Structure 1
Amino acid sequence: MPLPARSSRNLLRRFRRNDRGSAVVEFALIAPLFFGLLFAIIEVSMIFFASQVLETVTQDSARMVMTGQAQGASYTQQQFKDFVCGRVAALFDCTNGVYVDVRSYPNNGFGSINIAPPIDSSQAFNPNMKYCPGSAGDVVVVRLFYQWPLFVTKLGFNTANLANGKRLLTATATFKNEPSGVSGATCS
């Protein structure tokens, strides 16, 4: 039995005036964008925080080379990496993920320094790390690398600079060894 025209108009008017549930519909439309933006902000913040931690560890570790302590103790690459790992916060998987590269250049060698990231043309990380702390007066570059895993990348926000979907974090310290009279260590 069809409703009379008058009661169907009243029903339609009541439906248009009823706004219960509109907040739920609006939230359902906006929530994916809001949470995507929130997670992207958190991820970028974590990348900046991890980069700052890596920079601090690099500066502290480079001081060992600059003052001749690493050369005087005859550190090997693994011993220097263990020293670095002792200063890295729980933020990194140091034993498997942090790469240490120490290269020395002759006195006044600032012009020949190459600090290009070790990423090849296929966007793969090329871990050709060396340990050559140099001798007194040499220019030394200490670099630490870490492949930071990304999570928000799967949602369309991509800050990866490696083909494996990770972000290569790099920290660099460049200095001239102090004239401490420490002879150069062997390079490895």
Structure 2
Amino acid sequence: MIGFLKNALRRFRDDDEGSAVIPFALWTPLMVGMALSAIEMGALTVRQTALERALDQTVREVKLGTGASYSHEELKLKICDQAPVLGNCEEMLHLEMIGLDMRDWEPPSSQADCVDTAMDVTPQRSFVHGKQHETMLLRACYRYKQVSPPSYLGFILEKDTKTVNQKANYAIGDMVSRETEVLEDEYFDNTFKLLGVLTRNPVLPDELTGLFPADLRITVVSYKEANDKFDVEWSVARGDYPALETQDLNNYTERLPNIANGAELILVETWEDYNPVFRVGLAPLEIRTYSFTHPRYAPQVLYAGAMGENNGWGNGDQDAPGSSLCTNNAENATDCTNEDGSNNVEPNGKSKSKG
């Protein structure tokens, strides 16, 4: 009896019939799950891209349509018209618009209106019309029913780090360019917090390394035709990077546009530490974004921390703040490169000429 069992077990061990079926049975669920996940990722990406594009186009139209006031439903319709790929858009799209005061910061809620299609529809949370030149945060959330069943792997797109950081950079540059009042340090502290909200990054240093996961630097530079160079009027940094100085602009010259004598540019730089989810051939890296824009509603954007320095705003008054009479456009300027003052730039951007 014992010998019979030994022979049976030996035959079972050596028998290779059906060996191809076993791996197939083991691997099939995984392969099907990966296929469904790829379909899920593609469907999510298409809808997310369509929503971002529609939101960008709608917000641009709102900003250019001066004097027009759009209701919640009108904005929703405009976004849905721009994104036909979003099925049942008017019912599945949720909008929230709130005002943000960079001089009196109140952080917006980080909780999204919609997370899972199994949840009840969240009512409209807040939609407040902004005032002229006020910073407004518009958030859109589309409730999407996933393709694959919940038992399979479903991807949640947290963010496209590079794209999100670039959009945040542009938003901050556009916001600063519209300022007509003197900016205080508190303004930049709160702008750094806004960067954290837009990129979903903490704005406090890491407890272990002491380094910031995100950094912000805003610099105003002016062009001087007399010596064909850019000068830093002021620079403010938050995070690990220092403020920019005029000698640092040598690395920026090729990336700056041609502008008129005395004109100014607002440079916005942001950095973000990126740690890949799967570290297979891709090490942690730092993503840097950069943009520039002109002041929109005033010849210059002023920073209170530079008011006692060479801030470039003297309104033609020799007693105005600033360390250079030439920069202050004073009539009796003596320390300029042009002795007759013909190259002194007035706030309206026009050069003086001999009488």
TM-score in terms of structure 2 length: 0.36
1:59 to 1:146, Cα distance in 2 relative to 1, 3 A = same
Instruction: In structure 1, give the amino acid aligned to 2:111.
Output: P
- State how far apart, in whole Å, the 2-side matches of 1:26 and 1:127 are: 50
Partner of residue 112, structure 2: 118
Q: Which runs of 5 or more structure 2 residues have no equivalent in the other structure?
A: 1-10, 180-295, 298-355
Shift, 1:124, TM fit: 6.5
TM-superposition CA deviations, 1:137-169 (whole Å, max 9, x none): 100111111111124353243557xxxxxx999
Identity of aligned residues (%): 19
Q: Which runs of 4+ in 1 moved over 4 A?
A: 171-175, 177-181
Q: Which runs of 5 or more structure 1 residues have no equivalent in the other structure?
A: 1-11, 161-166, 182-188
Partner of residue 98, structure 1: 93
Shift, 1:31, TM fit: 1.0
| Residue 71 (structure 2) pairs with residue 76 (structure 1) | yes
Instruction: In structure 2, give the amino acid aligned to 1:74.
Output: S
Contact 1:77–1:131 (8 Å) recurs in 2: yes
1:145 to 1:37, Cα distance in 2 relative to 1, 3 A = same
Partner of residue 55, structure 1: 52
Partner of residue 27, structure 1: 24
TM-superposition CA deviations, 1:96-143 (whole Å, max 9, x none): 11112222234x3583341512359xx866433433342321001111
Partner of residue 135, structure 2: 139
- State how far apart, in whole Å, the 2-side matches of 1:95 and 1:126 are: 14
Name the count of aligned residue pairs.
157
- State how far apart, in whole Å, the 1-side matches of 2:129 and 2:45 are: 28
TM-superposition CA deviations, 1:51-71 (whole Å, max 9, x none): 22222222111112333x1x6
- Counterpart of 1:45 (choices 42, 45, 56) is 42
Answer 1 or 2: higher relative contact order, Cα 8 Å, separation at least 6: 1
| Residue 84 (structure 2) pairs with residue 89 (structure 1) | yes
Instruction: In structure 1, give the amino acid aligned to 2:96.
Output: D
- Structure having the higher helix fraction is 1
1:148 to 1:54, Cα distance in 2 relative to 1, 3 A = same
